């Protein structure tokens, strides 16, 4: 497995493919649906991966070994940085996903660690927030291992088909480490 790195626009087709897989296989875990995201043009995905020192969003990914080097994107996590003056101390972890065949390999831990490292590199950022679907014990445990603490539960947070799922709101103080 490659070490996690910032994804660039050239990886947009791989990122799009992996996230469409995530939305399709785990509709309860994501607020976005596969139907709304598959309609977005490739340029939307490229824009999300533009990065840069002051980017509003970054996406970190890791690649799986292939026959001739690293080929497929195995997992991703994103950070969205608040742009409003009074909220610049916050960012949101989003779009965490590790492909099924790469789970239990430590990749999830590596991606969350990389996200924490990138957030700390922005001097104004003090905390990271995220939501995790209630009952997704593996994801909840992953975040808790990295110092995230639940501060609330949002009932009926996401409508999936004819049902609703609740989201646990968690946060991590970057200065507490």
Residue 67 clears pLDDT 70, i.e. is over it: no
Please, what is the average pLDDT of the chain? 94
**Model pLDDT for residues 82-141, shown as the tens digit of each residue:** 999 999 999 999 999 999 999 999 999 999 999 999 999 998 999 999 999 999 999 999
Domain that holds residue 24: 5-126
Residue 168 clears pLDDT 60, i.e. is over it: yes
Q: Please tell me the total count of domains within the chain.
A: 1
Region 17-40: mean pLDDT is 95
Is 136 contained in some domain? no
Is 147 contained in some domain? no
Is 169 contained in some domain? no
* DSSP-assigned letters across all residues of the chain: -PPPEE--GGGHHHHHHHHHHHHHH-TTT-SS-HHHHHTS-HHHHHHHT---TT-SEEEEEEEEEETTEEEEEEEEEEEEE--SGGGTTEEEEEEEEE-GGGTTSSHHHHHHHHHHHHHHTSTT--EEEEEEETT-HHHHHHHHHTT-EEEEEEEEEEEETTEEEEEEEEEEEGGG-
Task: Find the CATH number of the domain harbouring 12.
Answer: 3.40.630.30
Is 139 contained in some domain? no
């Amino acid at each position: 497995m490659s070490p996690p790195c910032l994804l660039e626009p050239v990886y947009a087709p791989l990122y799009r493919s992996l996230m469409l897989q995530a939305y399709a296989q785990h509709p309860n875990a994501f607020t976005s649906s596969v139907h709304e995201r598959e309609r977005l043009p490739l340029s939307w995905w490229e824009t999300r991966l533009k990065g840069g020192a002051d980017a509003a969003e970054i996406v970190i990914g890791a690649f799986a070994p292939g026959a001739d080097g690293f080929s497929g994107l195995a997992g991703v996590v994103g950070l969205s940085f608040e742009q409003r003056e009074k909220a610049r101390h916050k960012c949101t972890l989003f779009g965490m996903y590790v492909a099924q065949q790469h789970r239990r390999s430590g990749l999830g831990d590596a991606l969350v660690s990389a996200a924490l490292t990138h957030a700390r590199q922005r001097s104004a950022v003090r905390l990271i927030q995220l939501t995790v679907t209630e009952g997704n014990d593996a994801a909840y445990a992953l975040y808790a291992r990295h110092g995230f603490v639940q501060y609330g539960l949002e009932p009926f947070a996401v409508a999936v088909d004819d049902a609703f799922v609740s989201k646990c709101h968690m946060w991590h103080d970057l200065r507490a480490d």
